[in-house]
Amino acid sequence: MSFSNDVRNEISTSVNDKDRRFACLYGMLLFCRTLSREHICFQSESRVSAELFSNLFEAVFKYRPAAGEHIRRNGAVLYNCEVEGENAEAVFQKYRLADGARVIDSEIIATNSLGVFTAGVFLACGSVNDPAKEYHLEFACPDEGLASQLVVLLNDIGATAKTMLRRGQNIVYIKGSESIEDTLTFIGASQCTLELMNMKIYKDIRNKANRIANCDAANIDKVVKAAMKQIEDIKLIDKAVGIESLSEELREVAQLRLENTDMSLQEIGENLSEPISRSGVNHRFQKLAKMADELRNGGSIK
């Protein structure tokens, strides 16, 4: 089951009284595919949305729409709910709908029903991506005017909504995770909001773990390269003059490095006969490196 269907299932269970049914059905009607005095057609690929539309319509108008199914070329099932004639006219009268223009009538919806109305809009034309993949919620609106009105409504609740035209269709979309969380909570999908928040926390932790792992890997590579360079210098000195010719402090770190290629500078310092700090060990290796460079340049060790 998709995340969009989780949202639809959750908000459908919250439409449980007369006022909420009226407000939710208003959103579904206003944003449905076809809306005229002669013919109303609600279409959705979601069985949940289609069944809720029929149930709400029957509860409000005491009439059950004609239902049907159509299988698309891609195999998806499209559910249809149709209302015609005097029943369609009754919808226009009850919701004070205008001919030829779809307008959100704020007077119809009490302030505490705006969220349920918007839930109806989501059931009619909304979808939200799986938060494990990306943060994206959108409404495929039936016309430009409704899209503009919906943007205002969403921005009023604190969400950052924008519009775009996709293949001739007016899309209202939200990208930010916090704006999507606000929207889902507003339309009554609080459990899905928590799921999104948990996924965001999981992704943040995973990203931090990956950054730490990458940093650790980079540090390991750096240590290994430094150790190989030190061994190369020591072997060059040994071949030229012998390690025994070195001072006791340089000879001891050189031998420890040759015997322990994976030791860090700090570990070498701790294993000396007289332990010293990491910087002290590094200073001794710098001396050995300088000697090796002099030998490479044809000089001799002073």
Mean pLDDT of 93-116: 86
What integer best gives the mean pLDDT of the chain?
Answer: 90
Average of per-residue pLDDT across 104-125: 88
Which of the four pLDDT bands, split at 50, 70 and 90, describes residue 191? very high
pTM confidence score: 0.72
Sheet holding 77-84, edge to edge: 34-35, 39-44, 77-84, 66-71
Residue closest to 249 by CA, chosen among 277, 278, 266, 273 = 273
Examine the pLDDT at 301 and tell me if it is beyond 80. Answer: no
**Of all residues in the chain, what percent carry a pLDDT higher than 90?**
63
Scan for tokens 């999507």, then name that residue.
180
Model confidence at 111, pLDDT cuts 50, 70, 90, reads low
The per-residue pLDDT for range 126-166, each reduced to its tens digit, is 999 999 899 999 999 999 999 999 999 999 989 999 999 99
- Tell me if 196 sits within 8 A of 177, measured CB to CB: yes
pLDDT tens digits, 222-236 = 888 888 889 988 988
Q: Which two tokens stand for residue 241?
A: 């003059």
- Domains along the sequence of the chain with CATH: 3-198 (3.10.28.10), 217-296 (no CATH)
Q: Which has the closest alpha carbon to 289: 222, 239, 242, 226?
A: 226
pLDDT tens by residue, 27-47: 999 999 999 999 999 999 999
